[in-house]
Amino acid sequence: MQDKETAIELTAFLQQTKTAQTAVLLLDYDGTLAPFHVDRNLAYPYPGVISILERIVQSDKTRVIIISGRPIAELRTLLGSISNLEIWGSHGLEHQLSDGSYSRVQVSEENAESLAEAEEWVVARGLLSSAEIKPGGIAIHWRGMSPAEAARVQALTQRDWAALAERSGLKLLQFEAGLELRVSHPDKGDAVRSILAGLDSNVPTAYLGDDLTDEDAFHSLNGHGLSVLVKADYRETIAKAWIKPPLGLIEFLERWLNSVSG
Q: Is the distance from CB of 261 to CB of 255 less than 8 angstroms?
A: no
Residue 125, C-beta contacts closer than 8 angstroms, at least 6 positions apart: 156
Residue 14, C-beta contacts closer than 8 angstroms, at least 6 positions apart: 255, 256, 259
Residue 103 pLDDT level (bands cut at 50, 70, 90) = very high
Model confidence pLDDT, tens digit, residues 105-158: 999 999 999 999 999 999 999 999 999 999 999 999 999 999 999 999 999 999
Residue 83 pLDDT level (bands cut at 50, 70, 90) = confident
Nearest Cα to Cα of residue 165 among 186, 146, 179: 179
Q: Give domain limits for the chain.
A: 3-105+186-260, 109-182
* Per-residue pLDDT at 69: 94
State the Cα–Cα distance between residues 196 and 219, nearest whole angstrom: 13
Model confidence pLDDT, tens digit, residues 148-201: 999 999 999 999 999 999 999 999 999 989 999 999 999 999 999 999 999 999
Q: What is the mean pLDDT of residues 76-98?
A: 94
State the Cα–Cα distance between residues 77 and 93, nearest whole angstrom: 19
pLDDT > 70? residue 1: no
Nearest Cα to Cα of residue 238 among 219, 211, 210: 219
Q: What is the pTM of this model?
A: 0.94
pLDDT > 60? residue 79: yes
Model confidence pLDDT, tens digit, residues 40-60: 999 999 999 999 999 999 999
Specify which residues 225 forms β-bridges with.
Answer: 222
Model confidence pLDDT, tens digit, residues 213-236: 999 999 999 999 999 999 999 999
* Per-residue pLDDT at 81: 79
Is CATH 3.40.50.1000 the classification given to domain 3-105+186-260?
yes
* Per-residue pLDDT at 2: 56
